[in-house]
Amino acid sequence: MNVYAEAEEGNSGIVPQPIQEMFQSNLVYPQEEDEIQFTLFPSFRKNDSSKNVRTLFEVEYGITDAFQIIFEWDGLLYKNPNNGPSISGPGNIEVGAQYSWMGLGDGNTHFSFGNLIELPVGPVDDGLTEGFLEVNPFIVLARDFPESNQSQIFVELGFNWAEKIRTVPSGSDPALNSISWNVGAFYPIGSWRATLELNGSNNEWDGGNTNEIFVTPGIINKLSREWEIGIAAPIGTTSTTDDYRVVGYLMWEFELDDD
């Protein structure tokens, strides 16, 4: 039984989960036992050298009420370089897991630890993918504010280890490690959720030249307890970020055993 059903039966100690996902950050919430979630994140981004389309598809499954496994696939990638022909093809896949400790202290603080492993199965000859094996451990700390419509603020910290394991064309980017951080919040208003994120990634400490920072405002509508839809517009604030992005969001969640 999910948290919505328990709340409807009068258990005032159970608060419905206000939101399932953010656009460029991981949330602390796990899937419950035998609960599965399908999510689609289509996106468009523009930078100085190209325009890019991505169709990220994600599946999450709850092993227990605190532990979930994760599968992600970049789906179809499309790249339109400024100085060359357009290219397209399937992207990489990621597998991982996340464990969450919910309701710590006074019940409004949550913590989770997760890890994702990216497998370079996409095409590398045309530069559509980079041929890196990547390991991305992350932690999330969140605080609820029940007196403010069950709004939440959160902080996420991550590390990305990369190793080139496929043969790629000469001149391709080297494998560099990076750190990432996200700070965000959401505020429910009826069936709507206003979201705001600050998203950062930096590999300068490992000899790279990337320092990305995005401001990501978004809006999500909770169509029902099973469905959510939304859109966000990440805005790059440094010289190495995309000029802008547009990210869509469609989520469907259900229990495999609804008895």
* Cα separation, 160 vs 166, whole angstroms: 18
Mean pLDDT of 127-140: 92
* Average pLDDT along the chain: 91
* Cα separation, 242 vs 52, whole angstroms: 10
Mean pLDDT of 90-106: 96
Q: Are 229 and 193 in contact (CB under 8 A)?
A: no
| The pLDDT of residue 256 | 87
| The pLDDT of residue 259 | 58
What domains, with CATH codes, occur in the chain?
A: 20-255 (2.40.160.40)
Q: Is 107 left (phi over 0), alpha (psi -120 to 50) or beta?
A: left
| The pLDDT of residue 174 | 83
The bridge status of strand 178-189 relative to strand 211-222 is: unpaired
pTM of the model: 0.89
Question: What does the pLDDT look like over 167-189, one tens digit per residue?
Answer: 877 767 788 999 999 999 999 99
Asked if pLDDT for residue 2 goes beyond 60, the answer is no
What is the share, in percent, of the chain residues with pLDDT greater than 90?
A: 75
Which residues are bridge partners to 226 per DSSP?
none
* Cα separation, 80 vs 87, whole angstroms: 7
Q: Are 192 and 218 in contact (CB under 8 A)?
A: no
Two tokens, residue 57 = 């598809």
| The pLDDT of residue 258 | 65
| The pLDDT of residue 16 | 65
